[in-house]
Structure 1
Amino acid sequence: MLVAEPSGADGSGAVADGIRDRTGFTVLAKREPVATEYLRELGPTIDCVVCVSMIPDAVAALVSAAGEVPVIVYGDEIPPVPVDEVVADDRGVDVLADRVEERVERRRERDALAEANAKLSALNEYTRELTGCRSVDEVSDTVVDAVTNALGHGRVVLAILDDDVFYPYGHTHASDPGVRIDAGEGIVGRTYDTGETQIVDDYDDDPDRVRDVPFHSVLSVPVGDHGVLQVTTERRAAFGRRDAEFLEIVASHAAEALSRLERETDLRIERDRLHAFFEGLRAPAVYVESTDGEEPVLLEANSAYRETFGDDRVGEPVSVAFPTDVERRLFGEELDDETVVRRDLRRETRDGQTDLTVGRVPVPTTGLDAAAFGLYVVEAELL
């Protein structure tokens, strides 16, 4: 904080000393007009200004230079311009110091809330990006960007567990970027095993210390069942609960993104198996899917379908690809029905008009509105 002392006055330094002794704050005492110039240049670094002067021009100049910084006048006269508070000098420096402390704490709380809101706004942008990531590398890059840019931490690593070893998929460590740690080892292992955030004030004193490293404070957060997100710094006791909360937000969204990628991989594998089975069927079969709210499209038809019906119209919307109302309803407006359905129809084949049964089998999807296979059987074959 800054104490603006009247030029040429004797004994006013006692005000700065009294505030410093009672609050423990760093207090700078500057004479007029040096205090005003100092405030103009370094105002954002000042929590509060105490003006020990009733010279109208001096008070007005300080208030003008202060901007958002609170100004308290210490004296027995009403100042010529609005200030945040006036403390009469007959109440003593201790009372002044208490009022300064209240103002400073209030300002710091407000600044902390503003900083938190700014960080949350920045994090919202990164969490939206995470929902669109299509690979583990994209997730790790987005997470590292969020922690370094939105949260302001420069040393970060996203370690993902693979076959009982933690691998640094994303990091900002200039040295030793390829280090691996076995499951259960170090603060990474402790974080993963307990599923709890770890705040370490000095890595050198931690019981799970496994390496000689040039940092002290560690903030380590589990990323679901996938791994651990860590931030480190050379400073001791650098991280608090608020830092942990922000990192936990990033980690939770990263865990959701990685889980989604795992589900998509599993579904792709299952769908590939179904498609291989689909192509090997001796009965006519089709595959239809819908995306982005558009009309479903016939994407595939097996060789038996082409042999039975001729032109397969692959790539066409359902309303064009299928000749009967039964098929257009089944694979069009009813495609999002997740039950297996069988319908009878009559359709032209290479052998002429034929009675058929068509069955629609829903396919598990991710990133699609709906998808299904269609299987055709000649009525006579059902007997």
Structure 2
Amino acid sequence: MGNAIRVLLVDDDSAIADLTATYLERASDRIETVVETSPSDALAHVTDGAVDCVVSDYEMPEMDGLTFLDEVRETAPSLPFILFTGKGSEEIASEAISAGVTDYLQKETGTDQYAVLANRVGNAVAQYRAEREAEEADEQIRRIFERITDAFFALDDEWRFRYVNERAADFFDCDPDDVLGEDIRDAFSVGLGDEFRDAYREALETQEPVTIEAESVFRPGTWLEVRIYPAEDGLSVYFRNVTERRQAQSELRDTKQKIEALHDVAARAVACDTEQAIYDLAIETAEEILAFDLCTVDAHDDGVLVTKTVSKVVSTDGYYEETPVETEGNLAARAYREGESSLVGDLRETDVVPAESEYRSALSVPIGDFAVFQAVSKEPNGFDEDDRELAELLAAHISEALTRVRTETELRAERDRFAALFENVPNSVVRYEIDGVDAICKSVNPAFEDVFGWPEDLIIGDEVDDYILPADQHHQGESLNERVKRGDRIEGEEVNRRTRDGCRDFLLHTAPAGNGEAEAFAIYVDITEQKERERQLSRQNERLEEFASVVSHDLRNPLNVALGRFDFLAEECESEHLAPIGRSLDRMDSLVEDLLTLARQGQVVDATDPVALSSVAEAAWETVDTKEAGLRLTDDAVVEADDARFRELLENVFRNAVEHGTTSSRSSDSGATDPTVTVEVGPLDDRDGFYVADDGPGVPADLRDRVFDHGFTTEDEGTGFGLAIVESIADAHGWTVEIADEDRPDSTGTRFEFSRVSVHEDETAQR
């Protein structure tokens, strides 16, 4: 808070409170006020310790000023509290003082009272802060004495003992009363010691405190920290045993040196270019820096720990050359499996069987997923936690180095594979760098040279687009280069490029080259033949559409007129010629309908969705006159198809199976006839696709090559277009349909197999 005085004003009359706050802040620029009209709300500020003084009214509806004082004192017993009230009486003043208010001031008319109030606030806070500072100083002095009074004795100006406490007497191994009055230089037969004598003399002569740290002559090997405080009439001497601290500091210095040395090893490991060199460095470090005499490094290789290097003093039979990782009772194997280091003080107290019976203690530390470092000693408890931590630090450095070497090895292999891929990929590839809007060639693969006709050594360093872009497309090339420079990846964009055989169509893919933001690969996939096929299919679709329009309009309209006239004629007269005419007209109607279906279903499928085979089959079955036939579904599959046209395909296959499967009676095992047929639908087992099979009479071998021909039928009433429509829809999807081999011993009926179908294993299908 600095010099500012934060005053909490509590008064149920907000106008009075705000007025008081205003005048207090005017009276002193150090005063900052917080106004509350509710004592309970005001207590929150006291609890937070955010105020230096409370100024409170006495008469308030929630609680009076003295009750509020009691609440404040429970939280802040010494916080200045001034009762500033308009209800003044000696009784209230006496009660307030007895309750422990810091000051009492009665409200009066006029503004002079606020200057008085500000003065009293300043005095109260000053006294409060001074008392707190004094308390803190006392506490600090108390803590100082607690720290420096381990052992104490006092000398007069003649070096004679005036006081010796119990701890000092214990150290000197004497009775305090026996040495009082004796000269410290003569009191002990071993002498005082030159360092201590010189320190006492210096303190007396300079009258300045002296602190030394030296080995005791009374107890050799014990180090003391001695603080000497002089006065005109003698010395006060405080001392404590710091032997353990010095040993810890010494060990800390030693550990620090080892850690620094291990960090240097990490730098040396960078120069290692093989894993074996790193393993050798690990053993060398363990011997020279960690002072481990007997140690090994066992690397993991296909489930086995194989010894890679050992200390010079380890005999050939002092370690296991190979240890399966799953071996029980083996410390190295367990450390590798669990990924945690272990420290065993006495191997004879465990079920571990060491390579040599003389080994008594062991330290095992995994080196990541690569190996295990192990050190052994012929002495029990040959290693401590510091050794473990240092060995773990060494293992971390070794693991990092192994990771680097293995990564570099993999990168080299990857570069080699990539170079081979770059050289042998059948598509044209060029690596280039974007300079402004120009694509500067860095390298090309042989396929690029073959397709575009430009050798690599001719176009390297030049702008690629100058060689392969048609003259009118340079603006498009610059736009593509700008997109690649922004970091965009071009995925399958159709472009036209100039090749040795003229302009051809390509799909362009780009990918960053990894050598800088402006470098990229461009892969050209030749789709010229595909585009030509698409154009042919588009023309085919246009012709089919024109044909469908002709059939729909030029044939359907006259046929509808004939059918209508036939109905009138049948009502007006009777003739034996009417029935044949009606059948012929119906036959013509069926032919026209099938021709329309054939024309429309033969168009190329543009959009497909995942659809469930079983769901589409059930829907198609419901729209076909199945008579007494049955449908059986095996395992389901999700097929990529146009739902409506897929359903049309299945309807035609089902209709064909029902019509041909029930036209003639089939003998059952009992000799009776069975006019029904069962149709089965399911996915193919050996390839992507599905089948539709029936147990009807089947297709004669000499007719199988003709069943998909337009107009071919074995029925007098058939149009011969049903299976032709099936083949057209399959072709439109890019599928292949064929009749399966029916000459197998267990084969009956007809089985249509649809292959080259896109089948999804785990995908939500339209149902």
TM-score (norm 1): 0.60
Q: Would the aligned equivalents of 1:160 and 1:227 in 2 still touch at CA under 8 Å?
A: yes
* CA spacing shift, 1:167–1:303, aligned 2, 3 Å: same
| Matched residues, number | 300
Q: State the AA in 2 paired with 1:179.
A: E
Query: Comparing 180-189 with 268-277, which one deviates more in the overlay?
Result: 268-277
The separation in 2 between residues aligned to 1:154 and 1:169, in whole angstroms, is: 17
Work out which of the residue numbers 316, 326, 333 in structure 2 matches 1:184. 326
After superposition, the C-alpha distances for 1:359-379 in whole angstroms (9 at most, x for unaligned) are 22357x7xx778864312457
Report deviation, 1:106.
1.3
Q: State the AA in 1 paired with 2:371.
A: G
The separation in 2 between residues aligned to 1:216 and 1:273, in whole angstroms, is: 50
The separation in 1 between residues aligned to 2:411 and 2:281, in whole angstroms, is: 24
* CA spacing shift, 1:85–1:231, aligned 2, 3 Å: same
Where do residues 207-226 of structure 1 align in structure 2 (5 Å cutoff)?
207-226=351-370
Name the counterpart of 2:396. 252
Where do residues 57-96 of structure 1 align in structure 2 (5 Å cutoff)?
70-72=213-215, 85=226
Q: Would the aligned equivalents of 2:265 and 2:285 in 1 still touch at CA under 8 Å?
A: yes
Name the counterpart of 2:622. none
Q: State the AA in 2 paired with 1:128.
A: A
Where do residues 166-177 of structure 1 align in structure 2 (5 Å cutoff)?
166-174=305-313, 175-176=315-316
Name the counterpart of 1:111. 250
Report deviation, 1:257.
3.5
Q: Would the aligned equivalents of 1:72 and 1:86 in 2 still touch at CA under 8 Å?
A: no
Q: Would the aligned equivalents of 1:288 and 1:331 in 2 still touch at CA under 8 Å?
A: no
| Residues 1:148 and 2:290 are matched in the alignment | no
Work out which of the residue numbers 436, 448, 451 in structure 2 matches 1:305. 448
Work out which of the residue numbers 192, 196, 203 in structure 1 matches 2:347. 203
Report deviation, 1:304.
1.6
Name the counterpart of 1:137. 276
| Residues 1:193 and 2:193 are matched in the alignment | no
* CA spacing shift, 1:108–1:347, aligned 2, 3 Å: farther
* CA spacing shift, 1:288–1:117, aligned 2, 3 Å: farther
Report deviation, 1:143.
2.3
Report deviation, 1:220.
0.5
The separation in 1 between residues aligned to 2:287 and 2:504, in whole angstroms, is: 66
Q: Would the aligned equivalents of 2:494 and 2:506 in 1 still touch at CA under 8 Å?
A: yes
Q: State the AA in 1 paired with 2:382.
A: A
The separation in 2 between residues aligned to 1:242 and 1:329, in whole angstroms, is: 64
Report deviation, 1:151.
2.5
* CA spacing shift, 1:359–1:195, aligned 2, 3 Å: same
Report deviation, 1:137.
1.3
Report deviation, 1:207.
1.1
Gaps of 5+ in 2: 1-169, 174-189, 200-211, 219-223, 229-236, 434-439, 467-475, 532-767
Q: State the AA in 2 paired with 1:151.
A: L
TM-score (norm 2): 0.33
Q: State the AA in 2 paired with 1:160.
A: A
Q: Would the aligned equivalents of 2:266 and 2:401 in 1 still touch at CA under 8 Å?
A: no
| Residues 1:235 and 2:379 are matched in the alignment | yes
The separation in 2 between residues aligned to 1:282 and 1:235, in whole angstroms, is: 67
The separation in 1 between residues aligned to 2:478 and 2:268, in whole angstroms, is: 37
| SS of structure 1 residue aligned to 2:365 | strand
Q: State the AA in 1 paired with 2:522.
A: G
| SS of structure 1 residue aligned to 2:326 | coil
| SS of structure 1 residue aligned to 2:374 | strand
| SS of structure 1 residue aligned to 2:359 | coil
Question: Which structure would you say has the larger Rg?
Answer: 2
Q: State the AA in 2 paired with 1:374.
A: A
Q: State the AA in 1 paired with 2:448.
A: Y
Name the counterpart of 1:6. none
Report deviation, 1:120.
1.9
Report deviation, 1:267.
5.1
Work out which of the residue numbers 148, 164, 176 in structure 1 matches 2:303. 164
The separation in 2 between residues aligned to 1:163 and 1:224, in whole angstroms, is: 15
Name the counterpart of 1:376. 524
Q: Would the aligned equivalents of 2:261 and 2:289 in 1 still touch at CA under 8 Å?
A: yes
Q: Would the aligned equivalents of 1:284 and 1:375 in 2 still touch at CA under 8 Å?
A: yes
Report deviation, 1:130.
3.7
The separation in 1 between residues aligned to 2:441 and 2:198, in whole angstroms, is: 75
| SS of structure 1 residue aligned to 2:250 | helix
Report deviation, 1:204.
3.7
Report deviation, 1:199.
0.7
The separation in 1 between residues aligned to 2:483 and 2:242, in whole angstroms, is: 65
Q: Would the aligned equivalents of 1:70 and 1:84 in 2 still touch at CA under 8 Å?
A: yes
Report deviation, 1:228.
0.9
The separation in 2 between residues aligned to 1:332 and 1:340, in whole angstroms, is: 11
Where do residues 15-94 of structure 1 align in structure 2 (5 Å cutoff)?
52-53=191-192, 70-72=213-215, 85=226
* CA spacing shift, 1:250–1:342, aligned 2, 3 Å: farther
Report deviation, 1:178.
7.2
| SS of structure 2 residue aligned to 1:305 | helix
Structure with more relative contact order (C-alpha pairs < 8 Å, separation 6 or more) = 1
* CA spacing shift, 1:124–1:343, aligned 2, 3 Å: farther
| SS of structure 2 residue aligned to 1:374 | strand
Q: State the AA in 1 paired with 2:372.
A: V
After superposition, the C-alpha distances for 1:168-193 in whole angstroms (9 at most, x for unaligned) are 22321442177222223321112122
Q: Would the aligned equivalents of 1:197 and 1:219 in 2 still touch at CA under 8 Å?
A: yes
Work out which of the residue numbers 359, 367, 373 in structure 1 matches 2:509. 359
The separation in 2 between residues aligned to 1:341 and 1:138, in whole angstroms, is: 45
